[in-house]
Amino acid sequence: MLTPWNALLRRAQERGYALGAFNTYNLEITQAILRAAEAKHAPVLIATGSGALKYAGSEALASIALGHARAATTSVAVHLDHCTSIEEIVACLRLGYTGVMVDGSALPFGENVDLTRRAVQAARAYGASIEAELGAIVGDEDRARTHETNAAMTDPAQAEEFVRATGVDALAVAVGNVHGFYRGEPRLDFDRLREIRALVDVPLVLHGASGLPPETIKQAIVLGVCKFNVNTEIRVALFDSLRAQLLESGDYDLPKVFGTAVTAMQRVIEEKIEVFAHGQILAP
Ligand SMILES: [Zn+2]
């Protein structure tokens, strides 16, 4: 069923597990996300970024995501990822999105607070949940490039002030996480995460979960992360499957080729859901 994610994340926070927000661009990725969620009886977030909406068309992609969410047997939020425009946020809320991430992280602190406040106000009018970002997470959502983990990290004292001033439901932090591929072994700043957790009571979000080892994810959950964003690994599964099938069989049977790719993506998403569950029984 279609639902806002705030209550889902709060429940995850109380019980010590995390939810996955999986980025979609099309029908097949959306199918893989929903099949994995239902197989694992897990709540999930289907995330669409501005780039995906531009690629597929806002209404077309929204109707695919919302249609799947409404028909699902588990709780599913449809979420706008990394948005810098209030107009786009309102347009998605009007289409029926139940969550939004406003991303003012490139702005000076005060301007990020102002933009986030306006987004919170818009989301509240639609009963939707809202996430914001403080600190700069390296990399771009849509292009899976390799990055060093040298971003401007989230300042714990600023995080406390930011959450109080904006009233957001969840905060995305930069603690050494990157979008795309990690260069070498990912190293998260767990001390910083612990400090943020001590000062901020809303669920924390970690973008760039692709490529993080399960032990790192588990440690982050213990330190208060309740939502992980996954994009790159799903696309790698999609493209690897398509490439292998075309090279091996040269088969142009679309339902068969894409169906096999959906199964490959589903497997990756199920593995992530399993790690995010952190040994807990999820409430679907
Ligand atoms: Zn992200």
- Decide if pLDDT at 181 tops 90: no
In this structure, the chain runs to a length of 284
Ligand 1: centre distance to CA 124 (Å): 22
**0.75 exceeded by the pTM?**
yes
Residues 12-58 have pLDDT tens digits of 999 999 999 999 999 999 999 999 999 999 999 999 999 999 999 99
Provide the residue type at 251 as one letter: D
pLDDT computed for residue 214 by the predictor:
93
Query: 169 catalytic, yes or no?
Result: no
Q: What is the C-alpha to C-alpha distance for residues 52 and 168, in angstroms, rounded to an integer?
A: 24
What's the pLDDT at 152?
81
In the reported structure, the alpha carbon of residue 195 is separated from the centroid of ligand 1 by a whole-number distance in angstroms of 22
pLDDT of res. 82: 95
pLDDT at 144 over 70: no
Residue 185: the pLDDT is: 85
* pLDDT attached to residue 26: 98
Residue pair 205/175 in contact by the 8 Å Cβ criterion:
no
Spacing, Cα 149 to ligand 1 middle (Å): 14
CA 170 to ligand 1 center in whole angstroms: 13
Give me the chain's average pLDDT, please. 93
pLDDT of residue 62: 98
Confidence class for position 160, pLDDT limits 50, 70, 90: very high
- Calculate mean pLDDT across residues 212-222: 94
Mean pLDDT value across residues 249-272 = 95
Ligand 1 mean position, distance from CA 82 (Å):
6
- Which range among 67-71, 80-84, 141-145, 264-268 shows the weakest confidence by mean pLDDT? 141-145
State the pLDDT confidence band at 186, using cuts at 50, 70 and 90.
Answer: confident
Is the pLDDT at 147 greater than 70? The verdict is no
CA of 35 to the centre of ligand 1 (A): 23
**pLDDT for 180:** 84
CA of 16 relative to ligand 1 center, distance in Å: 22
Asked if pLDDT for residue 117 goes beyond 60, the answer is: yes
pLDDT score, position 280: 85
CA distance 114 to 62: 27
pLDDT at 241: 97
- Mean pLDDT of the region 69-76: 97
Instruction: Name the nearest CA neighbour of 79 among 102, 59, 60, 57.
Output: 102
Do 38 and 72 form a contact (C-beta atoms < 8 A)? yes
Structure tokens given for 155: 């300042």
Q: What percent of the chain has pLDDT over 70?
A: 96
Task: Look at 15-24, 93-102, 241-250, 275-284 and tell me which has the smallest mean pLDDT.
Answer: 275-284
Mean pLDDT of 207-236: 94
Which entry of 81, 103, 155, 169 is annotated as an active-site residue? 81
Please tell me the distance between residue 228's alpha carbon and the centre of ligand 1 in angstroms.
9
- Residue range 6-277 forms a domain whose CATH class is alpha beta
**Backbone dihedral region for residue 162 (phi beyond 0: left; psi -120 to 50: alpha; all else: beta):** alpha
In Å, how far are 26, 51, 60, 251, 259 from 246, measured between CA atoms? 20, 27, 28, 6, 13
pLDDT for residue 137 is more than 70: yes
- Residue ranges covered by each domain of the chain: 6-277
Q: Do the beta carbons of residue 76 and residue 2 sit within 8 Å? A: yes
Q: What is the 3-state secondary structure (H, E, C) of the chain?
A: CECCCHHHHHHHHHHCCCEEEEECCCHHHHHHHHHHHHHHCCCEEEEEEHHHHHHHCHHHHHHHHHHHHHHCCCCEEEEEEEECCHHHHHHHHHHCCCEEEECCCCCCHHHHHHHHHHHHHHHHHCCCEEEEEECCCECCCCCCCEECCCCCCCCHHHHHHHHHHHCCCEEEECCCCECCEECCCCCCCHHHHHHHHHHCCCCEEECCCCCCCHHHHHHHHHCCEEEEEECHHHHHHHHHHHHHHHHHCCCCCHHHHHHHHHHHHHHHHHHHHHHHHCCCCCCC
Would you say 120 and 130 are in contact if contact means Cβ atoms under 8 Å apart?
Answer: yes
Segment 171-183 shows an average pLDDT of 89
Of 97, 74, 79, which Cα lies nearest the Cα of 22? 79
pLDDT at position 209 is: 85
